[in-house]
Amino acid sequence: MTTYTNGVYLQTFPIPEGPEWREALQEDVDRIEGAMQLERYAVTEKTWRDEQMPIAQQTVTALTYGEEGISGAVADWQSYWLALRKWTDTNPDFPDSSKRPVAPS
């Protein structure tokens, strides 16, 4: 099956028409699929961060009000929440999930 590209998209069927389309080279496929994979990782990390932020904030509140049995200090959970805020595409380690902020334990 032949794959075509316009430099941004890959398409196999239907065969695209227009002068901007050409048969894709392997480096075209690798580049475009790599960018798509990176975007999928970014979406996963944004979803994870958006789930963790309210947990961290609620834990800070619970500790502030004296709830017992929660590991970590208020300052640790505040630092975690602040690190989560910075876990965005402006962070040079984003979206490498192995470099995510780590919750206090």
pTM of the model: 0.80
Q: Does residue 104 sit within a domain?
A: no
Domains in the chain, number? 1
Q: Does residue 95 sit within a domain?
A: yes
Q: Does residue 105 sit within a domain?
A: no
Nearest to 83 by CA among 97, 102, 70, 58: 102
Q: Contact at 8 Å (CB) between 45 and 95?
A: yes
pLDDT tens, residue by residue, 15-26: 999 999 999 999
pLDDT tens, residue by residue, 29-64: 999 999 999 999 999 999 999 999 999 999 999 999
Residues 100 and 72: their CA atoms lie apart, in Å, by 18
Q: What are phi and psi of 10, to 5 degrees?
A: -110, 140
Domain extent, residue 56, equals 4-99
